[in-house]
Amino acid sequence: MNQKHFSFKQFSIYAGKAGMPVSTDGVMLGSWANISSSKTILDIGTGTGLLALMCAQRNLQSKITAIDIEPKAIEAATYNITQSKWKERIQAIEQNILAYQPEALFCHIICNPPYFNDGKKSQDTQRSIARHSHFLPHLSLINQCKTLLKPLGRASFILPVVEGEAFIKLATSKGWFVSRRCDVKSTVTKATKRIMFELALKTTETIKSEIVIHNKIHKLDYSEEFIKLCQPFYIKM
């Protein structure tokens, strides 16, 4: 899934010239993150504002800050937010997250981070910023999240397996604990392709789970657990 225009049940996303349009990764993370009791949420690298809007739909009491370094992303996010029913609760900010100094700490941080560590960067600047960790090194992101989160807060991420495992290793070396982890597979027979994980600053046991996106090999039928997870958002579910 990679479209410039996408309609959900309660809001629509217009990507404009933002680097990353709607993705299955983003929808899964926005559906999975445990934000039900989070009064304040920070969406890092908001892009089109997808995660911020999903959080606003799922938690009607939350106030959400959506931040991105890329002007075209904030332009798209601002448009999508102002067209939504939750525009009074979401603030879009154009700024480098590493220089961000909010007035108060957040209950939850949600982020679909850039993950390409090497290789040829896209000639499209917006897409390159959205995809390459060169522009937001994972260690810098991990350290900054620590300064922005309340002591009992949580931070949720999604990454490909190799990058996710490396991210988790870095985070735990800096005093974080994995409170939740969900391995994502395309089909039952395929290896894990993505990891969704939640980090905490206090010692905690890891709640582990797995989700399979498609229920039949070589078919596009969604599994029952994927439908249950994403049904509040996808129109055809």
pLDDT tens digits, one per residue of 10-49: 999 998 877 677 899 999 999 999 999 999 999 999 999 9
| Confidence at 69, pLDDT banded by 50, 70, 90 | very high
pLDDT digit string, tens, across residues 212-227: 999 876 567 899 999 9
Angle at 82 between CA 80 and CA 84, to 5 degrees: 70
What is the share, in percent, of the chain residues with pLDDT greater than 70?
A: 88
- Would you say residue 231 has pLDDT above 70? yes
pLDDT band, very low/low/confident/very high, at 118 (cuts 50, 70, 90): very low
Instruction: Check whether 134 has a pLDDT greater than 80.
Output: no
pLDDT for res 161? 96
* Gap between the Cα atoms of 77 and 227, Å rounded: 26
pLDDT at position 219: 65
Q: Name beta bridge partners: 149.
A: 106
Q: Supply 222's token pair.
A: 């969604």
Q: What are the structural domains, with CATH classification, of the chain?
A: 5-230 (3.40.50.150)
Q: List beta partners, residue 51.
A: none
Residue 128: pLDDT over 70:
no
Please say if the pLDDT value at position 90 is more than 90.
yes
Residue matched to tokens 């680097």: 19
**Burial classification of residue 160, based on how many CB atoms lie within 10 Å of its CB (0-12 exposed, 13-18 middle, 19 or more buried):** middle
If you average pLDDT over every residue of the chain, what do you get? Answer: 89
* CA pair distance 14, 18, nearest whole angstrom: 9
Per-residue pLDDT at 17:
75
- pTM for this prediction: 0.89
Taking only the tens place, the pLDDT of each residue in 180-197 is: 999 999 998 899 999 999
